[in-house]
């Protein structure tokens, strides 16, 4: 259950980042 909770928090965190930063920079960070 801890992994599921951490995954949900990561989705929320990246969701906020994607709204603030351009998608190009987000893709660059993923690489």
> Is pLDDT of 3 > 80?
yes
Task: Inform me whether the pLDDT recorded for 5 exceeds 80.
Answer: yes
pLDDT in tens, 6-28: 888 888 877 766 566 555 665 66
Band of residue 31 on the pLDDT scale cut at 50, 70, 90: low
CA dihedral 13, 15, 16, 21 (to 10 degrees): 120
- pLDDT at res. 18: 59
Alpha-carbon torsion (8, 13, 16, 18), positive or negative: negative
pLDDT at residue number 13: 79
């Amino acid at each position: 259950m801890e992994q599921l909770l951490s995954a949900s928090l990561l989705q929320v965190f990246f969701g906020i980042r994607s709204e603030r930063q351009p998608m190009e920079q987000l893709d660059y960070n993923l690489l």
